[in-house]
Chains A and B, each alone.
Chain A
């Protein structure tokens, strides 16, 4: 599923034009991205929590050459799915 498919569904549910609906979806993603950039924690009931986690600098190793290489400190995004989301997936027919 892509952004276009989601936007089409938004258009159907709201009655907005497809252009306006895809703008709205883009706004949603941009707002989440900006909040994560500011290291804000986002908690959406039923869906999940996005937050930024800091990773310490460490010494890694090039798996091919075996050489040691420094890995600098970084930030990564952690998504923890909410209860409803997890339950929907677990109960999927296999």
Chain B
């Protein structure tokens, strides 16, 4: 499924114009990204939660030269599926 498919299905299901449906999709994704950027987390009941997780710095290697390089610590987006969603994919 792509974003275009999602837009179409929401339009159908929620009886919206495609234009509004597209705004819905973009606003939801953009809100999640912005919340995490601000250090906030997003909890969507029945679906799951998004938060930024810390990844520690590590010593990596340049695959071409074999040289060691320090990869700095950073934050990465993380999605944790909710109970309902976990059950659903396990046929529950």
Give the interface of A toward B (CB within 8 A). Answer: 1-3, 5-6, 9-10, 13-14, 16, 20-21, 23-25, 27-33, 35-37, 39-48, 50, 52, 74-77, 79, 81, 84-86, 88-90, 92
Contacts and interface: CB of A to CB of B under 8 A. Distances in A.
A23 B15 CA distance: 10
A77 B81 contact: yes
Contacts of B47: 29, 32-33
B23 A77 contact: no
Given A10-B24, A37-B88, 12 more contacts: A3-B45, A6-B27, A21-B24, A24-B14, A28-B10, A32-B6, A33-B85, A39-B89, A42-B6, A45-B2, A48-B79, A88-B37
B13 A31 contact: yes
A42 B35 contact: no
Q: Which of B23, B33, B46 has the most CB of A within 10 A?
A: B33
A46 B2 CA distance: 11
B75 interface: yes
B9 A31 contact: yes
Contacts of A44: 2-3, 6, 25, 29
A27 B29 CA distance: 14
Contact of A85 (B3, B48, B77): B77
Interface in B49-81: 52, 74-79, 81
Contact of A40 (B1, B10, B44): B1
Contacts of B32: 1, 6, 47
Contact of A77 (B9, B74, B85): B85
Contacts of B20: 14, 16, 24
Nearest to B22: A14
Contacts of A75: 89-90
